[in-house]
Every structure is written in C-alpha cells, then in structure tokens.
Amino acid sequence: MEPVLITPSSARLALRTPADGGRGAARTSDARTVTARRRHRSTRFRHPLRLPLLLFGATLGLIVLHQGRVVELLFPAGAFAVALVLYRRSPAHYLGFVCWLFFLTPEVRRLADFVSGEFNPQSPIMIAPLAAVALMGFTLVKQVAAFGQRRAAPLLLIVIALLYAYVVGFLQAGPAAATFTLINWLYPVMVAFYMTVTWRHYPDYHRVLLKTFVYGGLLMSFYGLLEFVSPMPWDAFWLISSKMASEGQPVPFGMRVSSTMNSCGPFAVTLMTILQMSLAARGKARIVLGCVGIPALLLTSVRSTWGGFAIALMYSFTMLDGKSRMRLVAGVLGLALMAAPLMMIDQVAEPVMRRFSTIQDIGEDNSYQARAEFYKTFLASALTDIAGQGLGSTGLGTKLSDDKAAAARVDFDSGLMEVPFVMGWPGTVLYTTGVLMLLWRAYRASRMHPTDLLANSGVGVAVAIFSMMVFVNTLTSVSGMFFFLGVTLPVISLRYARRRRAQSGAAFSPA
C-alpha cells in the first residue's frame, strides 16, 4: 500500500468535495438561498398597517379634541404621505389603502364639520383619496412605453378618447370644469394601468384586496345598519346641511343607508362589489359579512344596484363548476334565511318593499318616467352631435364651468347617453371599443384560469357595473375604479400563473 501525500491544497479540495459528490453542499447552499429570500421578504416591508392606523388614529384624536379645521389640513396631507410610502414599498398595500380612503374619507369629513359646528361644502378632506390615487400618474409617466404593448391596447384607446374629450371640454366648458371631470374619468383607468405593470405582485393583490373588501365591508355594513336604526348626530348634521332630500330624513328608520360614504349610490355599488368579491374569501368573516351586508344593501334602496348584484351572482353561477355552484346556491339561501328575521321588522321591511313595488309597477314610477323622458329628449342630441360637448359639460364639473348655463345639465341620468354626448362620435368609438375589449379579455382570462375565484368574481363585478350604465355613468369615480379593477384582476392572474408554470418547467427541465 503506497503512502498518501496530503498537501494543504488537497486538504482544501477534500473539504470542498465531500463523499456525497457535493450534493450536501448544494443542499446547504439551496437552504441558505431560500432562507435569505425569506429574510428578504420579511424585512422588505414590515408592519404595512402601522402607518394607515396611525393616520386614522391621529385624525380621530384631533376630532375628539374638536380640531375639525386642523383635520381639514392634516388629513389630506397625511393621507398623501402614507400613500407615498406604500406606493414606493408595496403596490398591493398602496391600492388597499386607496380603497380604504374612498371608504372612510366622507365620514372623516362629516365628523370634522360636526365638531367645527359649520358645514363646509368644499371641504379639503375630500381630496385625500384623489391625492393618493394621483401617485399612479408617476407610474403612467415612467411606464408610458407599456402602452405600446398589446395587453395595454384597450387602455390606450380609452386614454386617447378621454384626451380628445378633454380638449373639446377645455374649449367649451373651460379648463377648471374639464380638468375636474377628467380626473374622475381618468383615475379608474390609471388603477387598471398600475395593476397591469405591477402584475408580478398579484399574490399580494389577491391577499390584500380580499382582506380590504371583507373587513371594509364588515365595518361599513355594521355602521350602515346602525345609521338606519339610530342616525349619529354628525350624520344627521350632514344630511340637513347638505340638503340632499333624496337621502331621506335624519330620523330613525328614515334614512337611506350611505354608511361612511358620501351617498347611498356610491355605497351601494361599493357594497355590491364587496359582497361579490367576498365569494372568494373563506372563514366566518365572510358569513358575517353576508348577514349584515345584504340587509345594508337592501336599505340603500338603490334598485339599479340590486339588479347589478343579481347579474353578478348569475354570472358567477354560470361560470363556476358544479360543486361551486351548489355551494353558491346554499350560501345565498342560508344568508336569505338568516336575514329573514330582520325583514320581519316593519320599520325595516317597509322602505325595502316600497322600492320593490315600484319595480313591479314601473309604469307608475316617477323615476322611470323621468328617465324615459330624458332618453327622448337627449337621444337625438347625443347621437347627432359629432364633435361632442367635451368633459365638463355634465356632472359636478359643470359647477366650475365658464358657461353658467351648463349647470342645468348636472343630472345626466344615463351613462349610455352621457358617453356619446360628451365624447362625440370619435371619442365614443375609441372609448366603447376599449371598454368592450377589456370585458372580453377579462372573460377569456377567467375561463382560462377558473381556479382563481377572486379573478372570476372581478369579472362578475365588471359585468354588473357595466350593465348599470343604463341608469347612470358607472365607469367613472369609485364605481369606475371597481370596474377597471374587476377587468384587470383576471388578466394579471392568468399572466402570473403562466409565468409560474414557465419557471417551474424551466427549473425541472434537464440541463
């Protein structure tokens, strides 16, 4: 047996090459890599709820101290600062915070006005959600090249249509009216674009948005039922000062439920979206949400949203597999049974049944007659005006118009008529094409990835909101944000799933 000469270099080589051929070292290296990645994810953004809770807590403290005018300055600034931090660190938490701002900002405004003892019709508090969502404009500028991709083609058509209508409105209604209206039409599109370019964060979107909808829906539903049974002093003060007669009377069982939002219309669309999205949730919170959310939705007395919710449920029923269909039917029946005792209370059942009766006898309904007359009056004008009247000629933007006579067109009672009236033929073709492309693409994506219930629910929400265009323009403001969010979720869900499958195939393919 020959002696073996051991040198320092051979000893180092032996340490690097163990008896298992290096597999142990490879496993150790992989474990270290996984550990490092987990540590990176855990330290990337810790305690994302701390800043929003601090903002709302500080706001509540100032209100308790009767510093309503201070809240008018600090809340919008604080909301923008928190949104900026979340925007830079986590797209999903940033979008969730934007949703919370739309949920709660009107209630903050009411509380601030109440403790100040004076109703402010132009409260700066209301710009908080718009200031937060405006940060998406930076993404629009930085990622403008993404408009050249096929997946962004529908959004590009919509943006071009809005810019055309803005130029026309700028010349006819004035810069202030056109700009204000453009913001309300554009920011829902910005939400869709932002989610499109940050699609790699889809798992975070799924988790954060689902929690936002469930817990936000619970809070607003409970508060809405309390508001109906016993209106809070600040809600009564707001209703009297704002002179919104359509919202009912500030007495027990006399108000149409608007909860923490500005009126019953936006709240109804928001709650419909939340209830539809909650079909993808699990646990007891979803059951509780259904028990309090459905009565709150009925007490808004917004018939168009009732119909939209029915359409969303029917869409989900047709798209689900057999087992999921039975689960949906059982859930709806169970919630109906649990809500039945509440509807046995005369004060609760009376306004709901009164609104239902108008659906059965639609010929005697004043709202239907006014809308039918509106269609007769504006149909010819909307379809024969080739250039359009431009942004700022309808909606709240008319209050800022240079043409004071435009104030008579504030209540435009049909979304289907408002689009051609505002955009004319060129803008209507571009805008309608983009919207229909988004709906079709979302439907196809949801069919190709049917296991994602949140994405499928998003399509149901989009179809419901689009169907409500017969009554009012639901593609702008908060309802528009939910529409564009609904048509974007299935697309980025499918893209993320495909990328994961491609990476898994590459990882397991032979070298």
Q: What's the pLDDT tens digit per position in 325-375? A: 787 787 777 777 776 777 677 777 777 777 777 665 555 555 656 666 666
Residue 412 pLDDT greater than 90, yes or no: no
Residue 402 pLDDT greater than 80, yes or no: no
Using DSSP's 3-state secondary structure scheme, residue 420 falls into: helix
Residue 453 pLDDT greater than 80, yes or no: yes
Residue 70 pLDDT greater than 80, yes or no: yes
pLDDT for 5 equals 45
Using DSSP's 3-state secondary structure scheme, residue 340 falls into: helix
What is the per-residue DSSP string for 302-326?
A: -HHHHHHHHHHHHHHHHHS-HHHHH
pLDDT for 204 equals 95
pLDDT for 463 equals 96
Enter the pTM of the model: 0.87
Closest by CA to 298, choosing from 362, 350, 231, is 350
CA distance 489 to 276: 14
% of the chain beyond a pLDDT of 90? 54
Give φ, ψ of 248 to 5 degrees.
95, -160
Q: What's the pLDDT tens digit per position in 479-501? A: 999 999 999 999 999 999 999 88
Averaged pLDDT for residues 400-416: 61
CA distance 344 to 350: 10
Q: What's the pLDDT tens digit per position in 86-112? A: 999 999 999 999 999 999 999 999 999
Averaged pLDDT for residues 189-211: 95
pLDDT for 341 equals 73
pLDDT for 365 equals 58
CA distance 62 to 108: 11
Q: What's the pLDDT tens digit per position in 149-193? A: 888 999 999 999 999 999 999 998 889 889 999 999 999 999 999
pLDDT for 393 equals 84
Residue 248, beta-bridge partner list: 255
pLDDT for 381 equals 66
Closest by CA to 408, choosing from 398, 416, 418, is 398
pLDDT for 511 equals 43
Q: Which residues contact 303 (CB under 8 A, 6 or more apart)?
A: 355, 358, 359
pLDDT for 265 equals 92
Higher-pLDDT residue of 72 and 403 is: 72
User: What average pLDDT is seen over the chain?
Assistant: 84
Using alpha carbons only, give the angle 485, 469, 351 rounded to the nearest 5 degrees. Answer: 100
Q: What confidence category does residue 44 fall into, taking pLDDT thresholds of 50, 70 and 90? A: low
pLDDT for 471 equals 85
- Residues 464/271, Cβ–Cβ less than 8 Å: no
